[in-house]
Amino acid sequence: MPDLGAVGRGLGLLADHWTLLILQRAFFGVRRYAGWRDTLQISDATLSARLRSLVDAGLLRTRPYREGGRERREYVLTERGMDVWKLLIVIWDWEKTWVPRATPLPEIVHRTCGEPARVLPRCADCGEPVGPQGTEVIRLPGTPGLERLARQHPRRTRGRLPDDPLSALPGAMEIIGDRWGATVLGAALTGIRTFGEFGEALAISPEVLSDRLRRFVELGVLCRTGSGSYRLTDKGRASFPIHVALVEWSHRWLGGDGAPADLTIRHLSCGAVLRLRLDCDRCGRPIDRRSVSPGVPVQGAGGAGTMAP
Ligand SMILES: [Zn+2]
Ligand SMILES: [Zn+2]
């Protein structure tokens, strides 16, 4: 994807169900092929392809180990891969809060206070709470649109979910697991309201656009207003940190490779380019990668891990 900006590249890499689930498991300590295969109900072909692209993109690296006299490879997160933790936590928090399911997701336990926590997004620079109001999205004119993003992976069919609730993020995948979906919702968060405005901003085909808008209304992240435009619901607005985390990670890790800063989110009250700080709603202290763990043991990870493998 040589012509895309940083966020386009980030979306191309991370807006994929399997990729996020593989990374999530890696945070909980899964390092070996069988660990992912046995817990995610993923085909060998898909797992091998995703591991390869995560290694190519520098999020995982391989490390040899010996088993039964044979040399094998395991996969460990690099610094670039570990920095995805913030995206995974805000996805988990949103999914837990807004997407009902038969077997609930485990709690996010903040180890600093020992309590199950909800995540409060704040501006890392000034410390104020942040949401779509109070921020501004700047698109660099002339950068290639996200329409250049070919769909690399087919969308996962909506079927039976795995037994382990952590092995599926169905709500989040509906909103970012497909690049057009992420783009349409991202545009809605910037204040775009009508079919015509979406079409103009995104260079998206009318068929794809109406499909995604209809799906978002079904999911309850957008609602239609009397005047035929679309408005974000509370559930839709609450997905804001997911988009910010994706943009922030892309700038940090993909912006230096000659990719233009295609899209920037600025916090209006302090003027800084928005970086998220996540605070615990129980104790008010910041959450970091090492201070969160799932409230249950994670399959395939040999016990309850933290987000710090
Ligand atoms: Zn700020
Ligand atoms: Zn806490």
Q: Which ligand does the CA of 122 lie closest to?
A: 1
Cβ contacts of residue 178 below 8 Å, gap of 6+?
15, 151, 155
What confidence score (pLDDT) does residue 113 get? 96
Domain borders along the chain are: 6-152+169-294
Residue 74: name the closest of 31, 35, 44 by CA.
Answer: 31
Reply yes or no on domain 6-152+169-294 having CATH 1.10.10.10.
Answer: yes
Question: b/e string for 61-83 if b means 16 or more Cβ within 10 A?
Answer: eeeeeeeeeeeeebbebeebbbb
Question: Is pLDDT of 144 > 80?
Answer: no
Distance (Å) from CA 283 to ligand 2 centroid: 4
Distance (Å) from CA 134 to ligand 1 centroid: 9
Distance (Å) from CA 86 to ligand 1 centroid: 18
Cβ contacts of residue 25 below 8 Å, gap of 6+?
35, 36, 39, 40, 298, 300, 301
Q: Is 278 helix (H, G, I), strand (E, B) or coil?
A: strand
The pLDDT tens digits for 196-239 are 998 888 878 899 899 999 999 999 999 999 888 999 999 999 99
Distance (Å) from CA 237 to ligand 1 centroid: 18
Cβ contacts of residue 227 below 8 Å, gap of 6+?
none
Cβ-contact 166, 24 below 8 angstroms: yes
What confidence score (pLDDT) does residue 140 get? 66
**Structure tokens, 170:** 């169905």
Sheet of 292-294: strand order equals 115-116, 108-110, 292-294
Residues with Cβ–ion distance below 5 A, ligand 2: 110, 113, 280, 282-283
What confidence score (pLDDT) does residue 306 get? 55
The pLDDT tens digits for 52-111 are 999 999 999 999 999 889 999 999 999 999 999 999 999 999 999 998 888 888 888 999
The pLDDT tens digits for 242-267 are 999 999 999 999 887 666 667 889 99
Question: Is pLDDT of 307 > 80?
Answer: no
State how far the Cα of 121 lies from the Cα of 127, in Å rounded to an integer.
9
Distance (Å) from CA 303 to ligand 2 centroid: 22
Distance (Å) from CA 286 to ligand 2 centroid: 8
